[in-house]
Amino acid sequence: MYGFVYSKNMISYLIGKPLLEKDSVTILTHGVGYGVRATAKTLSSLLELSEVELYIYTHVKEEALELYGFREKSERELFLLLLSVSGIGPKTALGILNFPTSQIIEAVQQADTALFTSVPRVGKKLAQKIIIDLRTQLGALKELDLTPLTPDRQAVFEALQSLGFADSSIHQVMNQVPVEKLTISEAITLAIRELGKK
């Protein structure tokens, strides 16, 4: 039985036949196609399904009405939490949700900014804001380090990024490298050596 549910938040649930597109899916129900944006992992989970159910968030803008879909209600709830953070829009929140929900929650609890800064349009300050704003809802297991990187540490960090190392791995290794006691070149070499052990 294909159908949809309206709520005070407009469309909140859709069930129907999925027609996949590049970064969205059209849910065909009662002869009407509803275009729904979703994460890459959600879209891949819809492959070869003849019928799907999605929990929907309706985003209303002056010039458009956009639908965002999720396989799990808990994922939609986390999406709404992310939207409550100033500076986070639906597309950025969707980008963050490409990570597993458990990994996002752990990043907040562990004050790990690296996961968030790996998402386009999310810098370190916004990542810190996400953690600060969400830790009251998700809990905190570790205090957030709000100390900005020194120019030398920033140089080492960017050099390692350019070599293709993941931000999360770089952050872990940077705590083991005494950058202030070394030249930048020596610090990079030592960091690469430590990264090679992981």
Last residue of some domain: 44, 70, 96?
70
Tabulate helix, strand, coil % of the chain (nearest 5). 45, 20, 35
Find the range with the poorest average confidence among 38-42, 56-60, 124-128, 171-175: 171-175
Q: Please tell me whether residues 77 and 62 are part of one structural domain.
A: no
Q: Per the domain annotation, does 160 fall within a domain?
A: yes
Query: How many CB atoms sit inside 10 A of residue 71's CB?
Result: 17
Model pLDDT, residue 70: 95
Q: Kindly state the percentage of the chain with pLDDT values over 90.
A: 42
- Residues 66 and 14 placed together within one structural domain of the fold: yes
The reply to whether 63 and 10 lie within a common domain is yes
Considering all CA atoms of the chain, what is the largest pairwise distance in Å, rounded to the nearest integer? 68
* Mean pLDDT for the stretch of residues 55-69: 88
Q: What is the pLDDT of residue 194?
A: 84
| Per-residue pLDDT band at 115 (split at 50, 70, 90) | very high
Final residue before a domain boundary, out of 70, 102, 129:
70
Domain at 130, CATH number:
1.10.150.20
Residue 21 sits in the same domain as residue 66: yes
Say whether both 132 and 118 belong to one domain: yes
**Would you state the pLDDT for residue 154?**
81
pLDDT for 1 equals 44
Query: 29: domain range?
Result: 3-70
pLDDT, position 110: 84
Q: Quote the pLDDT of residue 144.
A: 54
Same domain? For 62 and 80 the reply is no
Inform me whether the pLDDT recorded for 127 exceeds 50.
Answer: yes
Domains of the chain: total: 3
The string of pLDDT tens digits covering residues 136-191 is 777 655 555 555 667 888 888 888 888 888 766 776 777 778 888 889 898 889 98
Query: Considering the domain boundaries, does residue 145 fall inside one?
Result: no
- Length of the chain in terms of residues written: 198
pLDDT for 140: 54
What CATH number should be reported for the domain holding residue 66?
2.40.50.140
pLDDT at 28: 95
The answer on 107 and 163 residing in a single domain is no
Backbone CA torsion sign across 160, 163, 166, 169:
negative
- Check whether 84 has a pLDDT greater than 80: yes
Question: Do 66 and 8 belong to one domain?
Answer: yes
Asked whether residue 143 is domain-assigned, the answer is: no
Is residue 42 located within the same domain as residue 23?
yes
pLDDT at 97 exceeding the cut of 90 = yes
Chain-wide mean pLDDT for the chain?
85
Q: How far is CA 179 from CA 90, 109, 150, 155, 159, in A?
A: 38, 27, 10, 10, 13
Query: Are 128 and 78 contained in the same domain?
Result: yes
pLDDT above 70: residue 6? no
Q: Which of 70, 102, 123 is the last residue of a domain?
A: 70
The residues near 106 (Cβ < 8 Å, ≥ 6 apart) are 112
